[in-house]
Amino acid sequence: MRRTARWLTAVNTLAAPKVASQRRRVDQVFDRMVRRAERQAEADAGTAPAFVDSYRLLMREVAAQETLTMVGWQGYVDDLTRRMTNHLRVERLIAEHPEIAAEPVDRPVVVVGLPRTATTLAHKVLIEPEGNRAPLMWELMNTHRGDIDPKLRDKLIKDAQTMATLASKASPVWDLIHPMNALQPEECIFALPHGYGFYTRAAMPGYRRFIDERDYTEDYEHLKRVLQVLQWNRPKQRWVLKCPFHLFNLDVLLKVFGDATIVWMHRDPATVMGSWCSLVETGRALHHRSYDASRIGPEWLEILAKGVGAAREVRSTVSRERFIDVPYHSLTADPYAYLPKLFERLDMSWTSKEEANLERVLARPGMRRSHEYHLSRYGIDLDDVEKAFGDYGRLGF
């Protein structure tokens, strides 16, 4: 399976000297990124020094990657510049309109679970009721007030779509793995300042230590501010959020979103690991001239098992009513029978409209994958997975 477009090889080869030069001057490159973010956000980076410094640390880790391609380097530069712009813009909007910070984010539904556990299916169905709402990709990347000038809105949407289109063009398999569209609902990862999403592109030991030791309270407070900006002066709806990496920080999420309900998707970890490692490999192939696929499995087996362990520990300390378990096979075997029960537990009505939406969702390409991936390619086997996850795979969810 070819993971990158053929034209990338020539582009990366020609651009290699430029990438090497920019990596050596990473602090100068980063300073330009900050100035660009300030111009685009119409805000002063001095209002968020810790946030900006944390991205300087990340860029230095990126620059240390000897095998980084032009696509990989520029991808980080553009992504972090956009994220800094968005962070500064959100802070400016709230400073200009302090009442935004008082916006209530009531009873959000948060879909979590290991990657590749039908979180997308659940998310797309749960956002359909009229009273529900999910943040769109462009809103998470380029957050702004709902009453902005239509021309500015179109510009922000176009910026987000350009990123999504480039990912699709750079990898022939990307649309099968994680199709993206600026006007479609997306994962919270686009609005969370830090986390393992960056680590999928490159194994950065220093950054991993940073995120393992990080207090994520500010990250989730920023996510809440993003939602508050998006709903300000708009009809109030119930947010439906989604991100597999929420598992790592459920304690902080439940603190920041005090009345959230967690919909936890469950699937055999062995199946999850093969599919997830394949996704990570595609990210590594896009960002590096060379990589060792056999190192991906042990690395991510440790990360994901640790995430599940942390989530189970948090779960043991909070009310059972805060969690709803959704077994993958129960949902996918007969979604028309299972989902009405899930809706009832969430105090939502299951109507003919929701059933019709489910039919549309299931008909979309990629919703029913017909193949899995071999663990051996990624340096692990079934025994490794069972040992790492302990009894989690046998809990009968």
Q: Is the pLDDT of residue 373 over 80?
A: no
Burial bucket for residue 135 (CB in 10 Å: 0-12, 13-18, 19+): buried
Contacts 24+ apart (CB under 8 A), 90-99: 90/143, 90/222, 90/225, 90/226, 90/229, 91/43, 91/47, 91/48, 91/225, 92/41, 92/42, 92/43, 92/47, 93/144, 93/145, 93/229, 94/225, 94/228, 94/229, 95/47, 97/232, 99/232
- How confident is the prediction for the chain on average, in pLDDT? 92
**More confident position, 211 or 13:** 211
Q: Is the pLDDT of residue 175 over 80?
A: no
- Domain of residue 186, residue span: 7-394
Mean pLDDT of 78-85: 97
DSSP characters for 360-388? HHHHSTTSS------GGGGT--HHHHHHH
Q: Give the tens place of pLDDT for each residue, 228-240.
A: 999 999 999 999 9
- Looking at residue 15, its pLDDT comes to 84
Mean pLDDT of 144-149: 93
Q: Is the pLDDT of residue 193 over 90?
A: yes
**Domain presence at residue 2:** no
Give the strands of the sheet with 238-242, arranged side by side.
Answer: 132-133, 238-242, 109-113, 261-266, 323-327
Q: Is the pLDDT of residue 391 over 60?
A: yes
- Looking at residue 365, its pLDDT comes to 58
Percent of the chain exceeding pLDDT 90 equals 82
**Domain presence at residue 1:** no
**More confident position, 367 or 338:** 338
Q: For residue 202, what are its two tokens?
A: 């490159």
Q: Which of 303, 274, 246, 270 is nearest to 393 (CA)?
A: 270
- Looking at residue 367, its pLDDT comes to 53
Q: Give the tens place of pLDDT for each residue, 263-309.
A: 999 999 999 999 999 999 999 998 999 999 999 999 999 999 999 99
- Looking at residue 371, its pLDDT comes to 47
Number of structural domains found in the chain: 1
Q: For residue 234, what are its two tokens?
A: 């708009």
Q: Which of 267, 210, 218, 224 is nearest to 244 (CA)?
A: 267
The CB-side HSE value for 51 (13 A sphere, CA atoms) comes to: 23
- Looking at residue 259, its pLDDT comes to 96
**Domain presence at residue 307:** yes
Q: How confident is the model at residue 69 (pLDDT cuts 50, 70, 90)?
A: very high
Q: Is the pLDDT of residue 372 over 60?
A: no
> What is the total residue count of the chain?
397
Type of residue numbered 348:
M
Q: Is the pLDDT of residue 8 over 90?
A: no
Mean pLDDT of 362-388: 80
Mean pLDDT of 328-344: 94
Q: How confident is the model at residue 203 (pLDDT cuts 50, 70, 90)?
A: very high
Of 100-104, 177-181, 224-228, 239-243, the poorest mean pLDDT is in 177-181
Residue 211's domain is classified under what CATH number?
3.40.50.300
Q: Is the pLDDT of residue 323 over 60?
A: yes
Q: Is the pLDDT of residue 91 over 70?
A: yes
Instruction: Compute CA distances 170 → 8, 70, 194, 195, 384, whole Å.
Output: 7, 12, 24, 24, 33
**Domain presence at residue 294:** yes
Type of residue numbered 89:
R
Burial bucket for residue 324 (CB in 10 Å: 0-12, 13-18, 19+): middle
Token look-up 């530069």 returns 77
Integer Cα distance of 59 and 391 in angstroms: 38
Q: Is the pLDDT of residue 368 over 60?
A: no
Question: Left (φ > 0), alpha (ψ -120 to 50) or beta: where does 273 sit?
Answer: alpha
Q: Which of 19, 56, 20, 21 is nearest to 37 (CA)?
A: 56
- Helix segments in the chain, DSSP class H: 7-24, 26-41, 49-63, 70-96, 119-126, 137-141, 150-170, 174-177, 205-213, 217-231, 250-256, 269-287, 296-315, 328-333, 335-345, 352-363, 382-389
Integer Cα distance of 367 and 186 in angstroms: 15
Q: How confident is the model at residue 167 (pLDDT cuts 50, 70, 90)?
A: confident
**More confident position, 287 or 371:** 287
Q: Give the tens place of pLDDT for each residue, 12-56.
A: 788 889 999 999 999 999 999 999 999 999 999 999 999 999 999
Q: Which of 21, 133, 126, 184 is nearest to 347 (CA)?
A: 126
